[in-house]
Chain A
Amino acid sequence: MSRKNLIGLLPIAAVLLIPLLTQNPYLLHMFILSLLWIVLGQSWNLLGGYTGQISYGHAAFFGVGAYTTGIMVKSGQSPSTAWWGLLFGGLMAALVAAFIGWVCFRLRGSYFSLSVLALSEVLRLVAVNWNRLTNGAEGILFIPAFTQKTYYYYIVFALAAVNLGVIRWVMRSKPGYYFLAIREDQDCAESLGIDTTKYKLLSLLISAFFTGAAGAFYMNYMGFIDPGIVFSIADISIMMILVTMLGGAATKWGPAVGAILFILVSEIFRVWVGSGHLLFFGVLIIAIIIYFPNGIVGTLVDRRTRKRRLRGAEAVA
């Protein structure tokens, strides 16, 4: 392993040590939420940032993951077995994704973006009305398996690490190159031998799987979900976009930076301002798109490469 990779691992190691330094439940809660949103941001980024397929309805996959776990417990499993929900929730979300992707990815343009938005609303209504399965609008409540937050911290940390690892690995191999080609120009991608429908679907499946797993974690951790929370357009789907755009779409660390800032700002609003966070984020996303279309990490990376190129040009001259 190169030295650069080792330096890259340092922040990960530091994050791993956090629960040894503090047992403060409030702080740990913030860290857990940040990690959860890192998973959500990274998953959206794979499909939206790298593959260029914008989803306005990722709450569909989050909700399916959460409800899969919730229904497992509701049907008599103990909350600790619900950890399998991370796997099953992810798989169920991928199944739903396979359906919508198989239908929509033959087409180009906004069909997928809008269909997945509709899908998340349809699923929310199903969750509200299918009382016998989902408890309807009352939602699902159970006592979480652990009282110690440290466990949750390490579980969501593992999820985020696996998520990051899988995405890095995919982006360095053939599918990753194909995702980028599809984002840049689909006609060109096709003529270079890329089955665009298949690879868009692959990107969506990976993205939906991890989003579903994150939903399952959310159910396990919070112990309560209802349709309005997990299928929320404003609080899940749009925030996943915001987190990615804020940090920098199609960058390695962008979603992580975006997620941490997002949790920080949300908390500031919750504690000191009370309400209005949606309005604030709305204005923020407009500002990002106008002034920093590459997000925080994207802008920094751009600046660095431009400097390096300038230096290169000077060296030549």
Chain B
Amino acid sequence: MTALLELKDVTKRFGGLQAVGHMTFSLDKGEILGLIGPNGAGKTTIFNLINGFYPPTSGTILFKGKRIDGLKPHTVCRLGLARTFQVVKPLARLSVLDNVMVSAFSRTNHREEARTTALEATTFTEMDAWRDVPAGSLPLGMRKRLEMARALATKPEILLLDENFAGLNPTEVEKTNAIVKKIHATGITILIIEHNMRVIMAISHRLICINYGEKIAEGTPQEVATNPQVVEAYLGAAHA
């Protein structure tokens, strides 16, 4: 298998604070890779590094063998790497459909084509009934789903999902779970950050656990869950 995305010794410092240190991992085509770790471990920072919001302090990031570190987010998006936001960012005064159309325009200059893509993406994420609602007045569950619809409309090869299950009720969790699986079935490779252990253990092929910006474990969900360092990071040394 060839790595679609590779991080090599990536470090990010904010002044004296090291948010991510010597991070090395790769994401294979067709895989669902889970990223777990306690709050503040640096998971979202890794997304921000991959997606181009921050340039790494050192290290390289490769997408299909080409360096993407230091590129702007809009360029990274056009290369085929889409993301969602943990703290959702709806374009509040635009309707759901217009939100998705905005992102569909990354692959076309024509309004009708963008509209078609947006209609497909909203149907795919089962948001049909919400299309005309201003994104700012959506309930949280729908906002999280809008993030996915928008990311899909950019027709990505890799999708970075940042806590799309957080704050959802059990029914919504089921629904989102099904949608993520459906996305994966279309051939999109997924890197997912999630705190809901039941979800991420079930959905990921592989897991990486980070703490204080460093990778402490990597392997199958089972291996990672039983790793003493991981247990210590979550529950404290007494339980390890």
Contacts and interface: CB of A to CB of B under 8 A. Distances in A.
Interface stretch (B7-15, B97-105, B178-186, B211-219): B97-105
B114 A174 contact: yes
A180 B91 contact: yes
Contacts, number: 73
A194 interface: yes
A184 B134 CA distance: 12
Nearest to B106: A193
B111 A188 contact: no
B53 A178 contact: no
B217 to A, nearest CB: 29
A68 to B, nearest CB: 33
B89 A177 contact: no
Interface in B38-82: 51-53, 72-74, 77-78, 82
Nearest to B105: A174
Interface string B94-131: 10001001110110010100100000000000000000
Contact of A181 (B85, B91, B109): B91
Contacts of A190: 52-53, 72-74, 77
Given A174-B105, A174-B111, A174-B114, A188 B91 contact: yes
Interface residues of A, number: 19
Nearest to B88: A188
B168 to A, nearest CB: 21
B92 interface: yes
A174 B104 CA distance: 10
B231 to A, nearest CB: 34
B73 A181 contact: no
A39 B89 CA distance: 34
A187 B105 contact: no
A273 interface: no
B150 interface: yes
B205 interface: no
B105 A177 contact: yes
B206 to A, nearest CB: 25
A157 B94 CA distance: 32
Interface of A is mostly: helix
A177 B109 CA distance: 11
Give the size range of B's interface with the partner: 20 to 34
Contacts of B189: none
A87 to B, nearest CB: 27
B106 A184 contact: no
B77 A191 contact: yes
A178 B92 CA distance: 14
Interface in A196-215: 196
A173 B83 CA distance: 24
A195 B72 contact: yes
A4 interface: no
A185 interface: yes
Contact of B102 (A173, A177, A195, A196): A177
A173 B101 CA distance: 11
A187 B91 contact: no
B154 interface: yes
Given A177-B98, A184-B94, A193 B103 contact: yes
A192 B103 contact: yes
Interface of A: 172-174, 177-178, 180-181, 184-185, 187-196
23 contacts: A177-B102, A178-B102, A180-B91, A180-B93, A181-B94, A184-B90, A184-B93, A188-B89, A190-B53, A190-B72, A191-B51, A191-B74, A191-B83, A192-B74, A192-B106, A192-B150, A192-B154, A193-B77, A193-B105, A193-B154, A194-B106, A195-B74, A196-B74
